[in-house]
């Protein structure tokens, strides 16, 4: 299956060495510890925008596990849900956890988000590195499962009518539905195809960064910054201080930001030109 067939042991070793982890028993306690460290790798599409623009061949656009870890260690980068989920899957498998990928549906479309289902200590759990879920949530048919975070929390509920699990977040602004998913494994081939489609989604037309810290959630979309904690939500337009804000909050150097911005601006111009010619 092309690039998906290679071994990712080097990426797993880099992760364990960087965060000072060993491999004790593959139980729930170690899973929690592993996920807390993994949450320090941010969600960001800067690296995805740049690499997608550099390559015409679809296989070459993927940021696979070793590249994600090397870029995080050297440049503080992370990835989007596909690269983050694929890396986490390799780490979990190497650590002895039975697990599989599943696709999720959001208000923006079907199969545009991905999650992991992991078995640990006799239970099955939702793990979602792309949506700031830093605790495993039990897949329960009996009632809502809640994970509390520094920004509020995440709720997982099963809907017996549809046979789907639904994920909500809550904070001082209230509760919001985020996505739904079926407890059904997706193959590497299917995952690859959905990943390919993601390169043509609207999320590639704006810079996005998201990370959960002990103080709350950091979120940047375009020029807008939102800081959310248990007690307050702060919003700011950072257009005049864009590069410095991203560097100070996420540690990503301005060179990466500027390159991604130039690509996004060029793509927007090309899109407007196509629309003007009636081609878009």
Closest by Cα among 169, 172, 174 to 232: 172
Query: How many domains does one find in the chain?
Result: 1
Question: Which residues touch 148 (CB under 8 Å, ≥6 apart)?
Answer: none
Query: 87 lies in which domain range?
Result: 2-276
Q: How far apart are alpha carbons 222 and 205 in whole angstroms? A: 9
Top-confidence range, 115-119, 126-130, 262-266: 115-119
Per-residue confidence (pLDDT) for residue 4, from 0 to 100? 65
Question: Which residues touch 118 (CB under 8 Å, ≥6 apart)?
Answer: 31, 92, 97, 98, 99, 124, 125, 127, 136
Look up residue 22 and give its two tokens.
């060993």
Could you tell me the pTM of the whole model? 0.93
| Beta partners for residue 218, in sequence order | 211, 227
- Average of pLDDT values for 73-85? 97
Per-residue confidence (pLDDT) for residue 23, from 0 to 100? 86
* 39: DSSP letter: T
- Residue-wise pLDDT tens digits, 8-49: 999 999 999 999 998 888 999 999 999 999 999 999 999 999
Work out the pLDDT band at 131, boundaries 50, 70, 90: confident
> CATH code at 119?
3.30.2140.20
Q: How far apart are alpha carbons 41 and 196 in whole angstroms? A: 22
- Average of pLDDT values for 120-136? 90
Is the model's pLDDT at 226 over the cut of 80? yes
């Amino acid at each position: 299956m092309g690039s998906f067939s290679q071994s990712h042991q080097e990426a797993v070793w880099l992760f364990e060495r960087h965060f000072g982890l060993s491999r004790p028993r593959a139980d729930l306690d170690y899973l929690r510890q592993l996920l807390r460290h993994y949450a320090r790798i941010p969600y960001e599409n800067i690296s995805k925008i740049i690499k997608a623009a550099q390559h015409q061949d679809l296989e070459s656009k993927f940021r696979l596990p070793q590249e994600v870890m090397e870029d995080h260690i050297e440049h503080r980068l992370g990835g989007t849900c596909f690269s983050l989920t694929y890396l986490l899957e390799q780490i979990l498998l190497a650590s002895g956890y039975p697990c599989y990928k599943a696709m999720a549906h959001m208000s923006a479309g079907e199969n545009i988000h991905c999650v992991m289902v992991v078995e640990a200590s006799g239970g099955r759990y939702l793990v979602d590195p792309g949506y700031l879920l830093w605790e495993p949530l039990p897949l329960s048919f009996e009632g809502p499962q809640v994970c509390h975070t520094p920004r509020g929390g995440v709720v997982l509920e099963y809907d017996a009518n549809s046979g789907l699990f639904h994920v909500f977040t809550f904070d001082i602004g209230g509760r919001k539905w985020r996505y739904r998913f079926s407890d059904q494994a997706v193959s590497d081939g299917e995952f690859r195809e959905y990943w390919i489609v993601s390169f043509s989604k609207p999320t590639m037309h704006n810079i996005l960064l998201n990370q959960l810290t002990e103080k709350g959630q950091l979120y940047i979309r375009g020029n807008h910054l939102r800081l959310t904690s248990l007690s307050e939500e702060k919003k700011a337009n950072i257009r005049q201080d864009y590069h410095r804000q991203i560097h100070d909050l996420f540690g990503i150097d301005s060179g990466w930001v500027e390159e991604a911005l130039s690509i996004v601006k060029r793509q927007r111009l090309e899109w407007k030109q196509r629309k003007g010619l009636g081609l878009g």
